[in-house]
Structure 1
Amino acid sequence: MQDGTVWAVEMAGSRACVTSVDLDGKVETRIKVGGRPNGMTVDGDGRIWVAEAREGVVLCFDPDGRLAKRITHPTDRFLWPNDLRFGPDGHLYLTDSGILDTVFITGLDINPDYATLPYRGCSYEIDPIKGQVVRQFDENIKFTNGIAFGPDNFLYVNETLGGSVFRYDIFGSKTPQREVFGNVNKLGDSPVWRGPDGMAFGTDGNLYCTVYGQGDVTILNPAGEVVGRLPTNGPKPTNIAFASEGRRAFVTEVSASRIEVLETPCEGLPLFKPRLAI
């Protein structure tokens, strides 16, 4: 946030909330969401938009915590709303991991059969004012996860199972095709769930992607090549947000339930934060 506080979602059933941490490390519960809040973003009016995985909805809260809008799937339900970002057009873009959280995970324990589960991952464009899905991008991705807009205004989405980051020319085509941009996994098989999670662009044009199970933030240059890895203290980083000022990033790390601060080579590319009359 602009005041220097860091806001994060907590997925644990005993918490299920949006939490803030101030510059002195004070922790405060801001919004009681319920369910399983997974990803979060903020608009230009300070409203908090949350991807809630347990009920399969997107929720919008006023800064004081009042529920302002509830967005549902037009025909059924979102399977696992994971992460979300606003685009340069003012619309909201959401990844859906493509599987119910109750099938994939119990508490913090991942289903040992994760490699063979039937994933139907995809991404959605949502009109946040009307609260309606505009279109769907792609299908059958094996656990769609992190999402970001690049300086080229292409939409970047990753697939955790396999480690790929995809790129879509969503403003150049009504039905954009998947393009493999890069891969963040180190070479070799992994005995644990491993792959890209949350990600954000820096002002250097590089993509900074947390890699769950690998314990780092992997850096991809504009050509999609790995040009660096920033190690995290814990092995399970889940998301990244650049500080509003300075060369720092805040990374959520789930194994220790903490927020780590990483020094970065650059500042973060500012997020789109549209003013919305909802």
Structure 2
Amino acid sequence: MGDVRAIVRDRRDRLGEGLLWSSRQNAVFWVDILGRRLNRLSLDSGDVDGWDMPDVIGWVIEREAGEGLIAGIGRSFARLSLDPVTVDVIVAPEATIEGNRFNDAKADAAGRIWAGSMPFNCDVPTGSFYRLDPDGTATQVDSGYTIANGPAMPPSGDFLLHTDTARDTIYRYPVHDDGSLGERRAFIEFEEGWGSPDGMTFDAEGGLWVACWGASCVTRFDPEGRLDRRIALPASQITNCTFAGERLDRMFVTSASDGVDEAQGGCLFEVDPGCRGLAPHRYAG
């Protein structure tokens, strides 16, 4: 457990994020937000290909039925097709907030997408938390985020986690059957030396894996939120993590090169987590 390798490719990401495992394609997708690019790693061949985007792109999620992906592009939820790249906006809940963008998102077992927005400059709490229902309706479920990050759903599905990296806090929300949320409470507050919580995902045992910005690692917390173990990485700005592969026992991790002079900053890494993850859900719309 803990072996690390950098994926060989001809570029590094300014701000890697938005990891997605696709069992349909046996591939890992991820984005370079500031580079305005969607990347794909084939687990069959090891090849990496990519597509330039017309705007910043925060994440992609597969659809349960139909081709293409759902993406957070700029300040919009959009249908994204590749080869050629076409973008069809579903709804733009922050069309008038010019300083904002989408940052990270996940789908839940009901086929809804939960996504956070944030200011480009990471400096004021103008970000919000949204739910995109299968009928294409977007609902603001919370606000006041400065760096919205890492929605994550546990195996039980009865709550979700969302992070404000600027506050070094992972929040927990109860989820009701109708998609409404209960009261937000702090679940994990990062201590000095832990870095700042970024993207995250649950494993099959209910453990929470968190990408630690500024701390060169991914960290696992047990189901009660207690620090369990860390895997060190050769880059400081770690941004997201996901399980992949047929057995969901391979972990891929994104990083950022923007603002740092590091040989492996902005690389995509594969690590051995020593456990299995959960298959991602798809959007039902």
| TM-score (ref. length: structure 2) | 0.78
Q: 1:80 aligned to 2:89?
A: no
Using the TM superposition, give the Cα deviation of residue 38 of structure 1 relative to its aligned residue in structure 2, in angstroms: 1.9
**Equivalent residue for 1:157, pick from 131, 152, 162:** 162
- 1:93 alignment counterpart: 114
- 1:108 alignment counterpart: none
- 2:26 alignment counterpart: 4
Letter aligned with residue 250 of structure 1: F
- 1:259 alignment counterpart: 268
Q: Is the contact made by 2:174 and 2:182 (CA closer than 8 Å) also made in structure 1?
A: yes
**Equivalent residue for 1:20, pick from 40, 63, 70:** 40
Unaligned residue ranges in structure 2 (runs of 5+): 1-21, 258-264
Letter aligned with residue 166 of structure 1: Y
Letter aligned with residue 106 of structure 2: R
Give the 3-state SS of the residue equivalent to 2:175 in structure 1: coil
Runs of 4+ with >6 A deviation: none
- 2:152 alignment counterpart: 148
- 2:262 alignment counterpart: none
**Equivalent residue for 2:130, pick from 124, 129, 132:** 124
Which 10-residue stretch deviates more, 173-182 or 232-241? 173-182
CA gap 1:161/1:250 in 2 versus in 1, 3 angstroms: same
Hey, what's the Cα distance between the residues in 2 that align with 1:253 and 1:228?
19
| TM-score (ref. length: structure 1) | 0.80
Q: Is the contact made by 1:196 and 1:209 (CA closer than 8 Å) also made in structure 2?
A: yes
Hey, what's the Cα distance between the residues in 2 that align with 1:167 and 1:226?
16
- 1:110 alignment counterpart: none
- 2:196 alignment counterpart: 195
Deviations 1:235-264 (A, max 9, x none): 111111111324210001222222100101
CA RMSD of the aligned region, Å? Answer: 2.4
Unaligned residue ranges in structure 1 (runs of 5+): 105-113
Q: 1:58 aligned to 2:77?
A: yes
Letter aligned with residue 114 of structure 2: Y
Hey, what's the Cα distance between the residues in 2 that align with 1:166 and 1:236?
21
Hey, what's the Cα distance between the residues in 2 that align with 1:248 and 1:216?
16
Hey, what's the Cα distance between the residues in 1 that align with 2:27 and 2:205?
24
Letter aligned with residue 121 of structure 1: G
Q: 1:137 aligned to 2:156?
A: no
Deviations 1:184-223 (A, max 9, x none): x3425x9xxx511111110011111101111111111111
**Equivalent residue for 1:167, pick from 166, 172, 176:** 172
Using the TM superposition, give the Cα deviation of residue 74 of structure 1 relative to its aligned residue in structure 2, in angstroms: 7.0
- 1:43 alignment counterpart: 63
Hey, what's the Cα distance between the residues in 2 that align with 1:243 and 1:73?
31
Using the TM superposition, give the Cα deviation of residue 4 of structure 1 relative to its aligned residue in structure 2, in angstroms: 2.7
Using the TM superposition, give the Cα deviation of residue 175 of structure 1 relative to its aligned residue in structure 2, in angstroms: 4.9
Give the 3-state SS of the residue equivalent to 2:192 in structure 1: coil
Letter aligned with residue 96 of structure 2: D
Hey, what's the Cα distance between the residues in 2 that align with 1:245 and 1:179?
35
CA gap 1:233/1:4 in 2 versus in 1, 3 angstroms: farther
**Equivalent residue for 1:250, pick from 249, 252, 271:** 252
| Residue identity (%) | 22
Q: Is the contact made by 1:159 and 1:195 (CA closer than 8 Å) also made in structure 2?
A: no
Give the 3-state SS of the residue equivalent to 1:119 in structure 2: coil
Deviations 1:123-171 (A, max 9, x none): 111124x3221x3222213321111111231111011013211111121
Deviations 1:63-100 (A, max 9, x none): 55443443201773482211111122221111112x2x
Which 10-residue stretch deviates more, 151-160 or 19-28? 19-28
